[in-house]
Amino acid sequence: DRKIKIAPSILSADFANFGAEIRAIEDQGADWVHVDVMDGHFVPNLTFGPAMCKAIRPHIRTVMDVHLMIAPVDPYIAAFAEAGADVITAHVEAGPHIHRTLQAIRATGKKAGLALNPGTPAAAAEELLDLVDLVCVMTVNPGFGGQKFLDLTDKVRTLRRMIGDRPIHIEIDGGVTTGTAPLVAAAGADVLVAGSGVFSGGSVANPAAYGANIAAI
């Protein structure tokens, strides 16, 4: 039973009002809160660090899902764990030693996620599945919200088959709307990140709409 979880990305929230924005999306049914950490090096944009995560943690009643788009990763794992992350996701492309990075995340007691850029094949996750709780399939090239969804449903299907009966989430990140959500859910994804689709025009749309739409297929 893979109940679909909706994880709004606060990358598209009002940066001056994170407390209120998080309360609004959780009141409207968000399952997780997705936090996009960017370093201006691994991706061409800059966002938050561990201090920001720590500041917003008391406002999150659900799950703090931290997506690290940074390289290197290892020097910062302890800081994000101490900031209260529940899930810490690192990119397979972030360095030569992703296996060590995932071990280090697991050693903090947090859930470990592995993210794959659009150009990275599903096979890149194959030897790492015993070390992860989540595989994040990027359906945009990371760095910015509001980009067009890349249809990688075959890759999602391949990963779900490869995962077999392991208890591993497949998260989709980028361009998720009520239109694209059913495609990836049908292919085996169960955590849907949505940034601009939820926080459109400065107001918080209803995240539950994504789940309702999927249930209808």
The whole-angstrom separation of Cα 28 and Cα 101 is 34
154, 155, 156, 158 alpha-carbon torsion, rounded to 10°: 90
- Judged by beta carbon, residue 30 or residue 166, the one nearer ligand DX5 is 30
What is the DSSP secondary structure assignment for residue 57, as one 8-state letter?
Answer: G
Based on the shown chain and the rule CB under 6 A, indicate whether residue 153 belongs to the binding site for ligand DX5. no
CB of 12 to ligand DX5, least distance (A): 6
Burial class from Cβ neighbours inside 10 Å (0-12, 13-18, 19+) for residue 5 reads buried
Q: Which stretch binds Zn ion (CB under 5 A): 19-27, 75-83, 171-179, 197-205?
A: 171-179
Give the shortest CB-3-to-ligand DX5 separation in angstroms. 20
Is 113 a residue that touches ligand DX5 (CB under 6 A)? no
Q: How many CA atoms lie within 13 A of 184 on its CB side?
A: 35
- Per DSSP, the three-state class of 178 is coil
39 binds Zn ion (CB under 5 A): no
The catalytic site residues sit at: 36, 173
Q: Is 175 in the site for ligand DX5 (CB under 6 A)?
A: yes
Question: Where is 73: in which H helix or E strand?
Answer: none
- Residue 12 marked ligand-binding: no
Q: State the nearest-atom distance from the C-beta of 176 to Zn ion, in Å.
A: 10
Distance CA 190, CA 186 (A): 9
Q: Which helix (H) or strand (E) holds 6?
A: strand 5-8
Stretch that binds ligand DX5, among 118-126, 178-186, 193-201, 206-214 (CB under 6 A): 193-201
Query: Contact residues for ligand DX5 (CB under 6 A)?
Result: 9, 11-12, 34, 36, 67, 140, 142-143, 145-147, 173-176, 193-197
